[in-house]
């Protein structure tokens, strides 16, 4: 059985991080799993999000993954803690599941000057309070302001990046944050990196954007350096496999937009 790094996301969003992982750490073997059949997770209950995430993690472990990264912010904010504290000790005590919340928080606390931080994400991510809790651990004096953006993922997944209505929606979501004098904004969803320029325009040039695809690969490299016992278990053959729970030509075309190249997807059931 191949020992690989698993990357899990709801659908396409995680490809933004995955693309940068392949640049920063190209030698490892990877499985990318997109649960696009059940997207979006954001409006679902915490219990359902945990169930879906556990099923995906279980599938990736059974295919030979030693380490899994939940690039989905919804899964990271709602399910990661339970996965780490309940699921892993009982089922795979020697394996690890990491998220994207902590790396993003470390990035924002390093870049804010006035300690007024904004966060945008799905309903489930924002309602979980995961970002705020992690920020307060590192910077207790920080003031955190959030905005739930339920329409952005469906619009981006539909490929409507240049739709005029997107600007109106962004203005609605970001207007409350502009009034809070934030100087840093976490893009708390992997999809949002595809519309970074539009977000920057609506939030203002003086606000630093914290986008996870710029941070997570560097943090993973650091993690493997600090955990040689895990790094030694991972094969370095440069193999990459893309798995999805639903397939369509539309999905293939959008994946090319995310990755910048054609890839072959294998449809699986989890």
Which is the catalytic residue, given 189, 203, 209, 243? Answer: 189
Nearest to 183, CA basis, from 209, 202, 201: 209
* Class level of CATH domain 101-212: alpha beta
Give the pLDDT score at 2: 62
Residue 214 neighbours by CB distance under 10 Å: 18
Domain boundaries, given as residue ranges, for the chain: 4-100+214-267, 101-212
Judged against a pLDDT cut of 70, whether residue 3 lies above it is answered with yes
* pLDDT at site 11: 72
Q: Averaged over 26-41, what is the pLDDT?
A: 88
User: Is 189 among the residues known to form the active site?
Assistant: yes
Q: For position 1, what pLDDT does the model report?
A: 54
Residue 241 buriedness (CB in 10 A; 0-12 / 13-18 / 19+): middle
Candidate list 49, 69, 72, 130, residue with the active-site label:
72
Pairing of strands 240-244, 30-34: parallel
Tell if the pTM clears 0.85, that is, is over it. yes
Percent of the chain residues past pLDDT 90, beyond the cut: 72
CATH number, domain 4-100+214-267, options 3.90.1200.10, 3.30.360.10, 3.30.479.10, 3.40.50.1860: 3.40.50.1860
Supply the pLDDT for residue 124.
Answer: 86
Specify whether 149 is catalytic. no
Query: Positive or negative CA dihedral for 52, 54, 60, 63?
Result: negative
Task: Tell me the sheet residues that pair with 118.
Answer: 145, 185
- The least confident of 33-47, 78-92, 197-211 is 33-47
Quick: pLDDT tens for 61-112: 999 999 999 998 889 999 999 999 999 999 999 999 999 999 999 999 999 9
Q: Which two tokens stand for residue 207?
A: 């606000």
């Amino acid at each position: 059985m191949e020992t690989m790094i698993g990357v899990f996301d709801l659908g396409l969003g995680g490809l933004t991080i995955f693309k940068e992982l392949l640049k920063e750490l190209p030698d490892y073997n990877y499985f990318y799993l997109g649960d696009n059949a059940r997207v979006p997770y954001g409006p679902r209950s915490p219990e359902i999000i945990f169930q879906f995430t556990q099923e995906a993690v279980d599938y990736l472990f059974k295919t030979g993954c030693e380490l899994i990264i939940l690039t989905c912010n919804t899964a990271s904010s709602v399910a990661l803690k339970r996965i780490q504290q309940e699921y892993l000790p009982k089922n795979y005590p020697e394996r690890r599941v990491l998220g994207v919340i902590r790396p993003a928080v470390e990035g924002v606390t390093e870049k804010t000057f006035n300690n007024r931080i904004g966060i945008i994400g799905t309903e489930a991510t924002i309602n979980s309070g995961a970002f705020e809790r992690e920020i307060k651990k590192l910077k207790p004096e920080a003031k955190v302001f959030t905005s739930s953006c339920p329409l952005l993922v469906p619009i981006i997944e539909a490929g409507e990046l240049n739709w005029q209505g997107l600007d109106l929606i962004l203005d609605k979501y970001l207007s409350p944050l502009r009034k809070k004098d934030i100087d840093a904004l976490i893009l708390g969803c992997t999809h949002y990196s595809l519309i970074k320029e539009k977000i920057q325009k609506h939030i203002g040039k003086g606000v630093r954007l914290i986008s996870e695809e710029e941070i997570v690969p560097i943090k993973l490299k650091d993690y493997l350096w600090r955990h040689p016992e895990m790094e030694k278990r991972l094969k370095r053959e440069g193999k990459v496999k893309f798995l999805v729970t639903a397939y369509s030509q539309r999905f293939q075309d959008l994946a090319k937009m995310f990755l910048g190249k054609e890839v072959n997807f294998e449809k699986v059931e989890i």
